[in-house]
Amino acid sequence: MKRVIVLAASIALTVCLCRHAFAADQQGMMAEAQTAQVAVASDAEAGVEGEPVTCKCPNCGEMINIGRHGQMSGETMNCPHCGKEICTKEEAEKVICFGADMAFMSMYVSRGMTTNNDPVFEPNLWVSYKGFTASFWGNMDLTNYNGMSGNFNEVDYALDYSNSLDKLGYSAGFIYYTFPHTGDNDTAEFYAGLGYDVLLKPKLIVYYDFLQVDGFYGNFAISHSFEVPEFSKAVKASFDLCAQVGMGSKNFNSFNFGCDHTSFSDMVFTASLPVSISDYFTVKPTVSYSTVLDRTIRTKSFKNDNVIWGAVLSASL
C-alpha cells in the first residue's frame, strides 16, 4: 500500500513538473515571438527589413518611402509631407502612379530669366514607379507676346530617380530641353540633389548643362508647410512657404546673361495653398516673387523683379 501511495505521489509530482515545464516553454516561445515581432517592427521603422517602395504622393508631389512591413494588410498610410491618406500596403508595393499638372501662370520666369511677360499655360504629365518618374513639361504662350500665341515654345523631357535613407533624401536625373517654333538649339542637363527631412526641409540640387553651356547651376531651397483646419473630410488644405536661391557658374552666367563670372544669380519666394478636393484632384493657387541678385546680371536681364501668380490643377491615379 505504501508503494502504491509513493508511486501515485511520484506520478502526480512528475505530471505537475511537466505542466510547469510546458507552461514555461510556452511563455518562452511567446516571449521570443514578441521579441521577434518587435525586432521586425523596429527594422521596418528603420527601413532595414525589406526593400522600401518609393512612390510619388498624388497630393503634394513629394516622393515617399513605404517599407514593406510598415503597414498591416489592408491598412492605409498618410503622406509624411502633406498628411493625405494615400493607399494600402498592397497598393503601394505594386503601384504605378500617373498624373497631370495643368498650370496657368501670369508669366514665365526661370532661373531669373523672363521668357514671357504675359500669361502662359504649362502642362506637366508624369508616370512614376518605385522611385522612377518620367515626365513631359511644356510652356505655351497664351498671347502673341513672342509672336507664338497658342504654340509651345519649350518642351522638356525628364527622367528622375528619388529615394531616401532615413531622413536623407536624394535624387538624380536627366532633362532634355527643346524649343519648338523658336529656332533655339536643344540642350540637356544632368542633375543630382540632396535633402534632409528636418525643420525647413533644406534641399540642394545642382544641374550641369553638358550640351550647350558646359556650365553648372545650383539651387538651394528651404520650405515649411502649415496645417489648415479641415473644411470637411473630403477637403484638405495646407499653407506652404518656400524660399530658394540660385547660383550660376561662369559659363552658365556667360551663356545666359553675358556675365563673365560665377555668382548668385536669382532668388525666389513662393507661397501656395494646395487644396485637395477629392482623392484625385488638387487645386493650388500660388504667388511668387522673383528677383535677380547679381548687379551685372541686373543690367543685362530683360526684367529683374517679377511677381508671378497663378494656379495649378493636379490630377492623379
pLDDT digits (tens, 9 = 90+) for 229-252: 877 777 889 999 999 999 999 999
In a 3-state reduction of DSSP, which class is residue 261? coil
What's the rounded Cα separation, in Å, for the pair 307 and 267? 12
pLDDT computed for residue 163 by the predictor:
93
pLDDT computed for residue 40 by the predictor:
35
Query: Residue 92, exposed/middle/buried by CB under 10 A (0-12, 13-18, 19+)?
Result: buried
Q: What percent of the chain has pLDDT over 70?
A: 70
Average pLDDT, integer, range 282-286:
97
| DSSP letter string, 65-119 | EE-TTSS-TT-EEE-TTT--EEEEHHHHHH--EEEEEEEEES-EEETTEEEESS-
pLDDT computed for residue 193 by the predictor:
98
Per residue in 137-147, pLDDT (tens digit) is: 999 999 998 88
Least confidently predicted of 26-30, 254-258, 301-305: 26-30
How many residues appear in the chain?
Answer: 317
pLDDT computed for residue 94 by the predictor:
54
pLDDT over threshold 70, residue 29: no
Average pLDDT, integer, range 199-210:
97
Least confidently predicted of 11-25, 164-178, 185-199, 303-317: 11-25
pLDDT computed for residue 84 by the predictor:
60
| DSSP β-bridge partners for residue 161 | 132, 172
pLDDT computed for residue 179 by the predictor:
97
Question: Considering only the top CATH level, what class is 94-316?
Answer: mainly beta
pLDDT computed for residue 230 by the predictor:
79
What's the rounded Cα separation, in Å, for the pair 5 and 20? 23
Query: Residue 36, exposed/middle/buried by CB under 10 A (0-12, 13-18, 19+)?
Result: exposed
Average pLDDT, integer, range 171-198:
96
In degrees, rounded to 5, the angle at the alpha carbon of residue 205 between the alpha carbons of residues 199 and 206 is: 150
pLDDT computed for residue 279 by the predictor:
78
What's the rounded Cα separation, in Å, for the pair 27 and 40? 20
What's the rounded Cα separation, in Å, for the pair 104 and 39? 50
| DSSP β-bridge partners for residue 189 | 175, 209
Average pLDDT, integer, range 155-161:
98
